[in-house]
Amino acid sequence: MTYDEFGLLDENAREAGLPWSGQPAVRRESVALPDGRRISALVWGDEAADVVLVHGGAQNAHTWDTVALALGRPLVAVDLPGHGHSDWRDDHDYSPASNADDVAFALRELAPSPRLVVGMSLGGLTAIRVTARYPELAPRLVVVDVTPGTDHAKAEPIIAFVSGPERFASFDEILQRTIQYNPTRSEASLRRGVLHNAKENDDGSWTWRYDPMRGWKQGADLSFTPLWDDVARITAPLLLVRGGLSGVVSDEDVAELRRRNPGAEVAVVDGAGHSIQGDRPVELAAVLDEFLQR
């Protein structure tokens, strides 16, 4: 199956009802880390990036394509370590603490002075650590449908999906499993997502691009509560965006967020599950744009 990673953007725009005036300026770049691994990213536009987008676990930078089209701003969408086109870690440790240093290193080259950093799920937890540790790289922070209070029980549907088979006999088989676990998404959007997030092997089978993160399958501790201290250290304007249909963030988590960071704001995108950028990308882009312009 022929794959052009930038050949589906017109389909993204059409499905979202966005105007299409031709292929946007977007390219793939990578940054070499001190240990030789590379972090890959999509760079949108030819000017210095306004926005940095960091995806969730088992996703990749293309999850933001429709949001990027709707924003129409210069931005960078990062592939987390072990995801997309970024290199895997030998220790398979993709915790927010491990990710943050790698992401910060890449941002110094690709987006040294953004106005806003946005992180979803694992990317949101990573962005919390980046903002607390490297505040000059994140003058504003939006966290999408996650807090340090997210635990195994709240993330169970996500864990069930990423803990499934690592190899599929055909593209249709991997697509059908994806549809099963994403009832709020259109089949067309999920098809694009699988094309970006999986690859065909020489024997015709398909596997995910991301590192299977074996710790998730072995019952590894998913406690992120130490990151509450990072939330308290953040002085940048902070916005949490919840999916109206998602159970990943509880009301108790919101209360703790506001206790740790009294200036934090909260917005809800109705009709969206955990992956707000996939379910309601235009609405999410509007929330980000409004927060950025304030």
Active site residues: 121, 145, 274
d(CA 42, CA 59): 14
Q: Give dist(CA 101, CA 250) in Å, integer.
A: 28
Residue with tokens 């992956």: 275
Name the residue type at position 190. L
Closest CA to 236 of 55, 114, 147, 149: 114
158/20 Cα distance (integer angstroms): 33
Bridge partners for 239 per DSSP = 142, 265
Cβ pair 103, 78 in contact under 8 A: yes
- CA 29 – CA 25 distance, rounded (Å): 13
Quick count: other Cβ atoms within 10 Å of Cβ 166? 10
Range 160-165, long-range pairs (CB < 8 A, 24+ positions): 161/58, 162/57, 162/58, 162/213, 162/216, 163/216, 163/217
Q: Which amino acid is it at 283?
A: E
Cα–Cα dist 287/203, whole Å? 44
Provide CB contacts within 8 A for 91, sequence distance 6+: none
Distance CA 100, CA 130 (A): 5
Return the percent helix, strand and coil in the chain, to nearest 5: 40, 15, 45
